[in-house]
Structure 1
Amino acid sequence: MSQTPDQQNYPDDEIDLRELFSILWRGKWLILLTTIIFGAAGILYALQKPNVYQASALLAPSQSEGGSPIGGQLSGLASLAGVNLGGGDANKTIIAKEVLQSRAFLTDFIHRYELEASLIAAEGWSQSAEEWSYDREVYNPENAEWLADDEGQSQKPTDWDLVKTFREQLNVSENKDNGMITVSIKSLSPQAAKDWVSWLVRDINEHMREQDVEEAEASVAYLEAKLRETNIAGMQQVFYQLIEQETRTIMLANAQQEYVFRTVDPAVAPQEKSEPKRALIAVLAIMLGGMLGVFIVFVRALVQNSKNDKQIPKVTQTS
């Protein structure tokens, strides 16, 4: 009499730490090799990255939240005359903050100070010579000429590319607790980072001043025209008050050097780099190499075990 009982093998769900350590020990050279390779690659990458410097300026709003000082009883006629009374409208600080990051303002800013080459073609900054080093395959600094690529197309950047690159280096943040605004610029040159921040603050103040003066002058011209058309004494008094307020706006705008943003802490040329963090890059590369090596060792052990299981023949017991 013979029996062939079905032998059931129940998998062991418990993790055998001794077996895991044994697998890691057998693959120690592979783990060490991947760690060294990734660590060396990370160090080389970190050393090849140029230093990036960040300059910042701390600003305070110069304008009050109340808007125009014209009385509420004049709001109806003022709105007809094109005079902005504030109230529910966004205050000048918010508008100036958005204009500072707008495409039109940044495009004009980049072209005004001729920043195209330093934004797109610069590869680094020489501290000793205090000059830019450019990618000679893209830009020729001697002739100030943008070169053609392999397909014969000029590599001169478009306004879209210029603004996109500049926005990547620009950061405008606001402290919600005290309303202070920080404008920061990152650049390969510490002096350029400082200059760009200073120019931005000066230009946004000048831009907002010119805009308000133009609007106020247009309102005055409109009100004076309406004043000549009416003979009603009460209306004439209202128009005189509106003209007075708009004239005051023009005078105050021209008198204030820092019209929208008042500089609390001006930008200075940084002496320490903000990027790259080479030590962190090297540590992350080493950790990535070690984890990849461990992963490869475990996968290789899993594949070998599966192959060994397929090669074991089934055992038939006879009694």
Structure 2
Amino acid sequence: MTVPGLPMAVPSRDLPTRVRIHEVGARDGLQNEKATVPTEVKAEFIRRLADAGLTTIEATSFVHPKWVPQLADAEALFPMVGDLPVSLPVLVPNERGLDRALALGARRVAVFASATESFAKANLNRTVDEALAMFEPVVSRAKSEDVHVRGYLSMCFGDPWEGAVPIPQVVKVCTSLLDMGCDELSLGDTIGVATPGHVVALLAALDEAGVPVSALGVHFHDTYGQALANTLAALQQGVTTVDASAGGLGGCPYAKSATGNLATEDLVWMLRGLGIDTGIDLGRLVATSAWMATHLGRPSPSRTVRALSHEDTEEH
């Protein structure tokens, strides 16, 4: 696919020169689909994402199939993509999940914590402290195996039951995850309520607490159309890792009318316009998301996918 209308690059001195996109579409995106995507299609999706230049592609989740039936094929899927020359993180909820991941040769894993008691109870059936206690042996064992560990932290900016989340509460859980050995953290705006000032305030508080910005990534949902603005605010504070989902796949079942994750294509378009390198071929990425949309039976919610797919159709 050709990309007829790339934005003019206008670099800014207060922004990083390169950003690593942590692609979550194959895991976080597909786990929220009502229909189960065939394993072969998932593998091809991951391969196409790698071919488009993405270097970190979250492949699947080793949770019990009862809880996430869409990802019940983790054991079958991971070996189908394990030869790719990219990082393939997987989600592990507990020691059993870690066992399954390590048995297949996974070298990057992630645990999924919550900044709020309500979401911890709804998602993990535990208190925040109980969840952290459950993750501690998982992280410890992973590190003993020289495996990279990412800590996801959901509800960093707002919770559907508790409302706005106090910044010190988020900082406390972040430092707990780092203290137990997590290599990096992903700050999640799970219901998409963050705004740029809130993002800046949280990052400033984490900096004051001694959390290096190099250990942080951001994960924004676009429920209220704020994901790109929030990402730009994070970049201005020195963040260089951004989570995104090809085609804007995924959402949050706890947010009414949630529109899903920040679309990778929309992010790449903005970053390219800012003169920030990602190493991603936007044309191939758009074609990949358009291809997946046909398998899901609906158009991609990504504005960039829609715009460039329309222009490509008109060209031909």
TM-score by length of 1: 0.18
Larger-Rg structure: 1
Q: Which one has more relative contact order, counting CA pairs under 8 Å at least 6 apart?
A: 1
Query: Which one has a larger percent helix, Structure 1 or Structure 2?
Result: 1
